Structure 1
């Protein structure tokens, strides 16, 4: 997993990455939630600026999409704070 490196004293030091596979898994799940939220938020405009389109106030754009983005941000924070080295009792 980590690189091994010799110090000047002759001891081997193991260097590991801060984030492990579990962190990156949660990171990509969070990114997927954010991307889906922004995709659902897009659209709803009108080709003619003189015509108002009521679709801009749909449940999908006002409630669902922002909720998915906020859930995705929460998952991102969890992925950053997750300690994969913590042992279960």
Structure 2
């Protein structure tokens, strides 16, 4: 006779808590938005006349200064979202983990 046992998956044995909290995802989303905004700001159209060089269109403040600053701010925001400590779950009253209030 073949005995059938229900095998427990290694994935279903653990708790289903996320590594990051809601605020972490918000920070990472804002950072991703800043990065995409910086890339869109850096992108630009072509020259109106292909026979004439206009350096002020290519080397403008928007493309040379503003866009990289937006992207760096986005990367910093994403890194802060990753390294920010997640909010601790609220302690249940029966666990006795209540901390004294000051």
Q: How many residues align?
A: 77
Alpha-carbon distance between aligned partners in 1 of 2:32 and 2:67, rounded to the nearest angstrom: 14
Shift of 1:52: 1.1
Per the normalisation by structure 1, the TM-score is: 0.73
Q: Name the SS of the counterpart of 2:74 in structure 1.
A: helix
- For residue 72 of structure 2, what is the aligned residue in structure 1? 70
Unaligned runs of 5+ in 1: 1-12
Q: Which has the higher contact order (CA 8 A, sep 6+)?
A: 2
Shift of 1:49: 3.5
Shift of 1:20: 1.1
Question: Segments of 4+ in structure 1 off by > 4 A?
Answer: none
Per the normalisation by structure 2, the TM-score is: 0.65
Between Structure 1 and Structure 2, which shows a larger proportion of strand residues? 1
Q: Deviations over 1:10-37 (max 9, x none)?
A: xxx6441101111100011001111111
Q: Deviations over 1:36-73 (max 9, x none)?
A: 11111111431544321231111111100000000000
Unaligned runs of 5+ in 2: 1-13, 89-101
Report the structure number with the largest CA radius of gyration: 2
Root-mean-square deviation over aligned CA pairs = 2.3
Aligned positions of 1:5-16 closer than 5 A: 14-16=15-17
